[in-house]
Amino acid sequence: MAKGKVYLVGAGPGDPKLITVRGLAALQRADVVVYDRLAGPQLLQQLGPETERIYVGKRPDRHTMKQEEINQLLVDLALQGKTVCRLKGGDPTVFGRVGEEAELLRRHGIEFDIVPGITSAIAVPAYAGIPVTHRDWASSFSIITGHESPDKLDRMIHWDKVTNATGTLLFLMGVAKIGYISEQLMKHGRPADTPVALVRWGTRAEQATLVGTLGDIAAKVAEAGFEPPAVIVVGDVVRQRESLRWMETKPLFGWRVLVTRARAQASELSERIDELGGEPYEFPVIETRLQTEPGAVRKIEEALAEADAYDWVMLTSPNGVEAFFAWLVRTGIDIRRFHRARFAAVGPKTAEALQARGVLAEPLPEKFVAEGLLERVAASLRPGQRALLPRGDLAREVLPRELEARGVEAVELDVYETRMNVPQDDGRLLEMLRAGEIHVVTFTSSSTVTNLLEALHLLGEPLPAELLRDVIVACIGPITARTAAEHGLRVDIEASSSTIGGLVEALQDYRRKPSGAG
């Protein structure tokens, strides 16, 4: 059997967008990913369901896998002919022990690539508004480990040389030793009023910053109960924080937001959350696909064959638009055969999806639900007209019922199916919910409500609604909110317009209120 290859990849400090292009490519081509606690969990969502995932960090039920065991694991996987991605937080060459892993791989004749990552030593201070250099205050910096015991630190660090060697000193993994570090720096010449900042979980939703001086920072850490992991920044560059702090001023900073809509539609909501400083965590609990049930397919083919007999084509979602045009292609029906029909759409995104295909919809209703569409076109409806309704299999019955009540023949077509999806995340979502690390859950349809609760149950949570009791629940509109309430959820946010833009605006409005401070 041919040997595999190992990519030793730096994942960056936590924000999934800070991985390099080469690192992401290595991650996505891997057969198996070996990762630990400091590698951002969102990166694993880039993997296909067939990719094996091996966690080597610490869990409540077992201790961290020893470094020697990790080294051997990489060798064993590669000898099985697998392409392996060893995903490490930050940069693998900065206190990442990549040398030990690479050395054993080389000893066994296994090919490897080292893919650098953005080190937390630079990125974490930057997200706190602290550049590690400044033309007036620091023209150099040092990166120093703070993880070892004091006696070992003294053997590894020449305090008399390090203390004033560079303008900025950056200590990684040194929160527990902050008192000893401060003492040594003052003992060897740094003034007690030298600014110090500790930045915990930088670039993530939990990012928190504590500022002090060498003389008082140890007391402040103890008083605040400030815990690792954190980067310690020592030097005058810390003074820049007050004027440069940018991440913490964003409206959704500090919120990790669960996005439950189908992966194909999740990107818009996730991008908006990310731009506003929130951290989206995608867990798509629905997936859509073209209708496959033979009877429904036959009905679609027969209905589309009568394209020139419709007065209306009414579409209620972008998914419906996409599926409708896919069926036109499958059945060989030219859109021009609908020449006598007027197209109506629920919501601007549905209208945009139509326009992208060269079809202009009737003026939009003010309410982006079926009832709003009916109000908008009511004056143009006539008894005896025919309306084609290409929709999903879970669509509400209000539109065809009201059309029939007005004497309009409603031809319903289930052009796509909505199915439950349980993403593979190795139980990470349950861990985050139980630890209070998910601050908001967003629902964009009734099916996302029911499917998330069912997915949580399948993952091992006996009381899914109870698990969401302390999470802010945000719904895209009244129908979704009603479903959430019926399932025992407290709805905190309901968008005034049933669009992604409306949902995002509602999240910001809630956050601006004192009660929405999170």
- Say whether 247 is catalytic: no
- Distances in Å between the Cα of 400 and the Cα atoms of 275, 388, 411, 413 are 39, 10, 8, 11
User: In this structure, are residues 152 and 128 in contact, taking their beta carbons and an 8 Å threshold?
Assistant: no
- Say whether 420 is catalytic: no
- Distances in Å between the Cα of 317 and the Cα atoms of 268, 322, 350, 368, 412 are 15, 9, 5, 10, 14
User: In this structure, are residues 39 and 20 in contact, taking their beta carbons and an 8 Å threshold?
Assistant: no
Q: CA 169 to CA 176: how far, in whole Å? A: 17
Of the residues 36, 414, 425, 492, which is catalytic? Answer: 36
Identify the residue whose tokens are 């397919």: 297
Give 12's contacts (C-beta < 8 A, 6+ positions apart).
Answer: 18, 19, 20, 23, 40, 89, 90, 117, 118, 123, 203
Q: CA 397 to CA 259: how far, in whole Å? A: 27
Give me the amino acid identity at 430. L
- Say whether 66 is catalytic: no
- Tokens coding 393: 């299999």
Alpha carbon distance, N-terminus to C-terminus of the chain: 54
Polymer length in residues for the chain? 518
- Tokens coding 69: 């065991």
Of the residues 58, 66, 152, 161, which is catalytic? Answer: 58
- Distances in Å between the Cα of 251 and the Cα atoms of 16, 129, 206, 514 are 20, 16, 15, 13
Cβ atoms within 10 Å, residue 102 = 21
Of the residues 15, 173, 349, 414, which is catalytic? Answer: 173
Give the catalytic positions in this structure. 36, 58, 173
